[in-house]
Each structure stands twice: as C-alpha cells, then as structure tokens.
C-alpha cells in the first residue's frame, strides 16, 4: 500500500471520530485534541495550551516508513517528545498498532483499535462501583469532612475526632495496598527511566538499592584476610544485650538511653456501623435527581479544568530526522 492511500485512509478515520475526542501521547501521556484535518497536515492543540500545532504529512510518511521497516515494532523511545503526537495519530489507522507494554508502534495486517484515543462518554452512562475497601472508606471520609470543619479540629467533639482519625487510618492503609498493586503493574510499563505523565501527575521508574550483610563468619574471614581486625567491625548486638539483662543486676536504663513519646493508636473499628452509614450514602447517590447529577458533573469539569491549568508539560511540533547511523 502506498503512503498516499494510507494517508487518505488515516484522514478518513480521523474525520469519523467525534470532535471532542481526546488523544494522549504514548510515552508522556499528554492529552491533546485535533482542531483540524487538512489535505497535507493535521492540526492539534494540547489540553494545557492555546497554541495550535501543525503536524505535517511528510513527517507522518517518515514515521510510517520507519515503522514498516522496524523488526519487532518501532521503539517509541526513539521519538523526541515533540514527535509523540505523530505516533498517536498514526495509531488511529487500523493497520498500525501501539503496544503499551513493549513501548512500540508496529504495522499489522489485523485491524486494531488504538489505546491512545478516548472518545468522551455521555454523562448519564452507568458507573460500576468498585469492590474495594478504599472506595467505601473514601466515601465515608468525604462525608465526614463535609459534615465537620477539618480546619477547626480543636472545636470538634471527641467522638467526631475519633471517627475522623479512624477513617483517615483506614483510607491510608487501604489506599497504600491499592497503590502497591498499581505500582506492580506500572513497573511492567515504564521504560528506560523516562517520566510518564497522567492528568494528575507523573511517575518514573527508579531503582532503590539495599544491602544485607552476608553471614558473620564469611564477612569476618574476608576482612581478616585483608588485614582488618575483627574487633574493628564488631558491634553490640541488642538481642544479646537484652538476654544479658535477664541474668544480671543491670537495668534497662543502665545500657539504654530511653525516650518516650505518646501517639494515638486505632484500637478498634466498628465495621457494622461503617457499613450502615456507607449504604446510606450509596442510597443517596443512587437517588440523586437529574439536576443534582448535572451540577455534580459541572463541578467535576470545573475541577478538571483547574487541574489542567496547573499541569504543564512540554509540547512538540516536528519529528526529528534520523541520524546517518539510524535505520
């Protein structure tokens, strides 16, 4: 297939999409929209910018040739940030496929739907309630924060403070469990320490280094072979000191500097009361009238707009030409 035919098929695919379709770049996950489809270029505008950026047909052709020639898919990390929208838009063509896990763009004989296009759904679409503990705890916490002023904690009654502390503790624990699950999946999708951006922030693959000493005899033997006296590296073992306190007249304060600090520990959670209150909140949400739903949607859209204004990522305009050594 010549690129002329590929190009016109791509333009047809783009024109068939709703005008409010949101696209995201494959690596930085920066959202943008198409503002115009022309014979020799596609006009885009990043969500956080008012600048219209033209994407030229010749650059699409260059990227298409590299993708077709690449064995195992074209590595998207070879793209400069400014060129990411080219890959997104090219993936709209059914014969080009983006693999988020491998970070590649490949030609395919099987028509595929791109994962980089988000067609806005109607406000009235049903939303599934996630079966997650953090979801219910977060609803209860939101309710508590709406009924009490968290900026005036000193004025709150003690039972209300206990409720707030309990819910905060539950949300923290369950959110951290979910965060670790999300982190495990993300690790398989992040490539080459390059930041990946979402609407609310960005993440980057990082390596943490930890050390654990090998068995004492092995370590001491190696050090002694290098002329290091074992007495120089031996330290007091707290467990052995505690054992010694049990069979001597020494007290804990003789061998330890002790500092005490007080803190609040969650002692118990009344799951039955939480479930009753949570069901009441869910019933209120389910029976909300249409006007209330529309008001909530407007508030969400206004909040997203404010977040977008505060979220700034670099935008791009052209596809970098390969060096003479690249294929």
271-289 pLDDT, tens digit each: 777 777 777 777 776 665 4
User: Across all residues in the chain, what is the average pLDDT?
Assistant: 79
Give the model's pLDDT for residue 327: 42
Give the model's pLDDT for residue 94: 87
Give the model's pLDDT for residue 113: 65
Give the separation between CA 284 and CA 288, rounded to whole angstroms: 6
Higher pLDDT pick, 300 / 224: 224
Give the neighbor-by-neighbor strand order of the sheet with 31-37: 52-56, 41-46, 31-37, 22-24, 117-118
pLDDT digit string, tens, across residues 53-87: 999 999 999 999 999 998 888 999 888 878 999 99
Residue 294: band (very low, low, confident or very high) from pLDDT cuts 50, 70, 90: low
Closest CA to 142 of 121, 162, 164: 164
Give the model's pLDDT for residue 323: 44
Has residue 202 got a pLDDT over 70? yes
Give the model's pLDDT for residue 144: 87
Residues across the chain = 327
Residue 208: band (very low, low, confident or very high) from pLDDT cuts 50, 70, 90: confident
Give the model's pLDDT for residue 199: 60
Higher pLDDT pick, 227 / 101: 227
Has residue 305 got a pLDDT over 50? yes
Lowest mean pLDDT among 113-127, 155-169, 184-198, 206-220: 113-127
Written as six digits, the tokens of 247 are 């069979």
Higher pLDDT pick, 293 / 11: 11
Alpha helices in the chain (DSSP H): 3-16, 57-69, 84-90, 133-147, 158-187, 216-225, 238-245, 252-255, 271-286, 290-310
Give the model's pLDDT for residue 308: 54
Give the separation between CA 181 and CA 150, rounded to whole angstroms: 30
Task: For residues 208-225, give the mean pLDDT.
Answer: 84
Closest CA to 197 of 314, 52, 55: 314
């Amino acid at each position: 297939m010549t690129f002329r035919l590929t190009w016109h098929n791509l333009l047809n695919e783009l024109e068939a999409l709703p005008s409010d379709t949101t696209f995201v770049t494959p690596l930085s996950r920066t959202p943008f929209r198409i503002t115009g489809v022309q014979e020799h270029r596609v006009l885009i505008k990043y969500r956080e910018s008012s600048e219209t950026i033209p994407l030229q047909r010749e650059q699409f052709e260059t990227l298409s040739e590299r993708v077709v020639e690449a064995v195992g898919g074209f590595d998207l990390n070879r793209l400069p940030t400014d060129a990411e929208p080219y890959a997104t838009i090219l993936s709209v063509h059914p014969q080009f496929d983006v693999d988020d896990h491998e970070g590649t763009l490949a030609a395919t004989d099987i028509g595929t739907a791109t994962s980089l296009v988000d067609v806005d759904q109607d406000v009235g679409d049903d939303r599934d309630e996630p079966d997650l503990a953090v979801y219910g705890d977060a609803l209860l916490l939101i309710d508590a924060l709406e009924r009490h002023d968290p900026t005036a904690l000193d004025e709150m009654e003690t039972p209300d403070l206990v409720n707030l502390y309990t819910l905060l503790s539950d949300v923290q624990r369950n959110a951290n469990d979910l965060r670790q699950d999300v982190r495990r999946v993300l690790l398989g999708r992040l490539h080459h320490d390059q930041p990946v951006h979402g609407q609310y922030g960005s993440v980057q693959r990082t390596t943490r280094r930890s050390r654990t000493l090998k068995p004492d005899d092995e370590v001491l033997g190696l050090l002694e072979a290098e002329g290091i006296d074992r007495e120089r590296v031996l330290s007091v073992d707290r467990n052995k000191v505690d054992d010694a306190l049990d069979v001597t007249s020494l007290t804990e304060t003789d061998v330890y500097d002790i500092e005490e600090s007080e803190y609040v520990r969650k002692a118990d959670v009344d799951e039955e009361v939480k479930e009753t209150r949570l069901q009441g909140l869910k019933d209120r949400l389910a029976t909300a009238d249409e006007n209330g739903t529309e008001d909530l949607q407007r508030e969400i859209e206004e909040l997203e707009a404010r977040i977008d204004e505060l979220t700034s990522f670099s935008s791009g305009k052209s596809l970098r030409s390969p060096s003479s050594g690249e294929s």
